């Protein structure tokens, strides 16, 4: 690598440690003062290896101590450009002052009552906001949970109760979580499912639209999927179809135009609950508040998490009142679902998405990434496709001669970028996709610098 640290000051970590105050006030710069990982990070990673289960991996070998705006700072004083947002979570930016203030105030008031024991306003207010914010102007209800997977599980429970049917269809390349039911919905075996079966029954898989690899238009891909569903499951047995409007872990696959509307229309005709899993795409990420909006799709149920609460664990199922209310009293819940700290954070974060016009910011970020990565594609046949929506963009890397997925190359580029101070994640069923999910508050100079580092890493990769 020829990328040098731009601002290496004394060339080592400050003696009395690193300031741990995060938020947008952190210097918005890439700064390497040690190799990555530096000595303090290595020390933590050694403790991790000895104390934390091996199954819990990590992408960037650093010990994070602060983050904000577009950077993550490690224990050695390195400042890395953040192109991952902790997997699409910190859309409003890490430690956003409004989120910090709301959570601090709530923590001083009460930290927990259990909403099922003693209800409180924050939960109800989040439900009201979600009901207003999500697509469609029909009457809605929401229920709150902790993780994306838990919300997906509950969406399936609700759809089954509403329809009295059991089967659920998910798609090739889908990712819906790691719990027992959501593992069954997730498509990829390694690392998510391998050895962890048996899997929940009555889950069926249909082909999705993947324009780069199937060459079908949206109508053709929808006809193919619906054909499979009708032949192999039958609408009479089908409670729900669940889909990510842009497939996330599976490779940032944007279905061909018309695919999602055709699928939603078929579900409506057949009385099948159409569930949009917007856990990764939600909250301004794709340049609209929700990705379904790009094609005017109104899901029966929409599942949200990640970006909802500026980094605190919260998730939700929102949808048609008559579907949501099918579950009997006491049928939905959990000790922590809609925790007051997470609700306070969500209310603050949802304000920020609107007041800071982060959907527009996501569009601008998308334009910058598209421009730079398309230039890269023009110069390098290993860039098979540049795709995505808004600030959810990806580059699919392929063998220049055969067009076959090149996972090794994606891994090499991501590791080199991280070593040079830019956090980049990979994804894809074939593991060959570099994905860009910067905080929507990232300053443009950092975004551009981060992409340039990735471009150099690709150019120098064998």
Binding site for ligand PLZ (CB under 6 A): 87, 147-149, 152, 175-178, 244, 248-249, 277, 279-280, 305
CB of 339 to ligand PLZ, least distance (A): 14
Reading the block at residue 40, the tokens are 């303090």
Judged by CB, which is closer to ligand PLZ: 38, or 438? Answer: 438
Query: What is the C-alpha to C-alpha distance for residues 445 and 462, in angstroms, rounded to an integer?
Result: 28
Judged by CB, which is closer to ligand PLZ: 5, or 350? Answer: 350
What's the burial of 158, exposed, middle or buried (CB within 10 Å: 0-12/13-18/19+)?
Answer: buried
Q: Are 79 and 299 in contact (CB under 8 A)?
A: no
Judged by CB, which is closer to ligand PLZ: 99, or 187? Answer: 187
Query: What is the C-alpha to C-alpha distance for residues 131 and 125, in angstroms, rounded to an integer?
Result: 10
Judged by CB, which is closer to ligand PLZ: 33, or 424? Answer: 424
Backbone φ/ψ region at 413: left (φ over 0), alpha (ψ -120 to 50), beta:
alpha
Q: How far apart are the first and last CA of the chain?
A: 12
**Within 10 A of 164 (CB to CB), how many other CB atoms are there?**
8
Judged by CB, which is closer to ligand PLZ: 303, or 368? Answer: 303
Collect all residues with Cβ–Cβ distance below 8 Å to 162 and sequence separation of at least 6.
Answer: 239, 273, 322, 323, 326
CB of 281 to ligand PLZ, least distance (A): 7
* CB burial readout 382-420, b (16+ within 10 A) else e: bbbbbbbbbbbbbbbbbeeeeeebbbebbbbbbbbbbbb
Q: Are 30 and 79 in contact (CB under 8 A)?
A: yes
CB of 376 to ligand PLZ, least distance (A): 26
Judged by CB, which is closer to ligand PLZ: 76, or 278? Answer: 278
What's the burial of 59, exposed, middle or buried (CB within 10 Å: 0-12/13-18/19+)?
Answer: middle
Judged by CB, which is closer to ligand PLZ: 244, or 300? Answer: 244
CB of 35 to ligand PLZ, least distance (A): 26
Judged by CB, which is closer to ligand PLZ: 123, or 175? Answer: 175
One-letter-per-residue 3-state SS of 147-215: CHHHHHHHHHHHHHHHHCCCEEEEECCCCCCCCHHHHHHCCCCCCCCCCCCCCCCCEEEECCCCHHHHC
CB of 318 to ligand PLZ, least distance (A): 15
CB of 104 to ligand PLZ, least distance (A): 24
CB of 69 to ligand PLZ, least distance (A): 22
CB of 409 to ligand PLZ, least distance (A): 21
Judged by CB, which is closer to ligand PLZ: 280, or 286? Answer: 280
Judged by CB, which is closer to ligand PLZ: 59, or 166? Answer: 59
The closest of 287, 242, 349, 311 to 22, measured between CA atoms, is 311
Of all residues in the shown chain, the one whose CB is closest to ligand PLZ is 148
**Which neighbouring-strand residues pair with 240?**
168, 273
CB of 349 to ligand PLZ, least distance (A): 15
CB of 61 to ligand PLZ, least distance (A): 17
Query: What is the C-alpha to C-alpha distance for residues 370 and 252, in angstroms, rounded to an integer?
Result: 14
């Amino acid at each position: 690598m020829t990328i040098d640290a731009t601002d290496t000051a004394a060339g080592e970590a400050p003696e009395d440690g690193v300031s741990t105050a995060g938020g947008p006030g952190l210097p918005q710069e890439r700064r390497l003062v040690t190799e990555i990982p530096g000595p303090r990070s290595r020390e933590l990673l050694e403790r991790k290896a000895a104390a934390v289960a091996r199954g819990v991996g990590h992408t960037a070998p650093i010990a994070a101590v602060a983050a904000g705006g577009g950077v993550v700072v490690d224990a050695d004083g390195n400042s890395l450009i953040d192109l991952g947002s902790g997997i699409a979570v910190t859309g409003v930016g890490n430690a956003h002052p409004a989120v910090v203030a709301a959570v601090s105030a709530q923590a001083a008031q009460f930290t927990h009552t259990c909403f099922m024991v003693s209800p409180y306003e924050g939960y109800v207010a989040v439900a009201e906001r979600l009901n207003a914010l999500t697509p469609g102007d029909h009457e809605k209800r929401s229920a709150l949970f902790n993780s994306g997977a838990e919300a997906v599980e509950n969406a399936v429970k609700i759809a089954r109760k509403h329809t009295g049917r059991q089967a659920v269809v998910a798609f090739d390349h889908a990712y819906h979580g790691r719990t027992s039911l959501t593992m069954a919905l997730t498509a990829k075996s390694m690392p998510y499912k391998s050895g962890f079966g048996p899997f929940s029954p009555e889950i069926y898989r249909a082909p999705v639209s993947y324009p780069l690899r199937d060459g079908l238009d949206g109508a053709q891909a929808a006809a193919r999927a619906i054909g499979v569903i009708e032949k192999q499951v039958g609408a009479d047995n089908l409670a729900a179809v669940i889909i990510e409007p842009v497939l996330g872990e599976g490779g940032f696959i944007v279905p061909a135009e018309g695919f999602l509307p055709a699928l939603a229309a078929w579900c409506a005709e057949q009385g099948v609950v159409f569930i949009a899993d917007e856990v990764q795409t939600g909250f301004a990420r794709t340049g609209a508040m929700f990705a379904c909006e790009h094609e005017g799709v109104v899901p029966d149920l929409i599942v949200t998490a990640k970006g909802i609460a500026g980094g605190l664990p919260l998730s939700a199922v929102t949808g048609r009142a008559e579907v949501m209310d099918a579950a009997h009293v006491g049928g939905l819940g959990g000790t922590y679902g809609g925790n007051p700290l997470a609700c306070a954070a969500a209310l603050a974060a949802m304000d920020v998405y609107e007041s800071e016009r982060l959907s527009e910011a996501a569009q601008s970020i998308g334009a910058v990434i598209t421009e730079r990565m398309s230039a890269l594609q023009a110069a390098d046949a290993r860039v098979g496709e540049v795709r995505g929506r808004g600030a959810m963009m990806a580059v699919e890397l392929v063998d220049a001669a055969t067009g076959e997925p090149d996972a090794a190359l994606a891994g090499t580029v991501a590791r080199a970028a991280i070593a040079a101070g830019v956090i980049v994640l990979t994804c894809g069923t074939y593991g060959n996709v570099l994905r860009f999910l910067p905080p929507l508050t990232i300053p443009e100079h950092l975004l551009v610098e981060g992409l340039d580092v990735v471009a150099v890493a690709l150019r120098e990769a064998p």
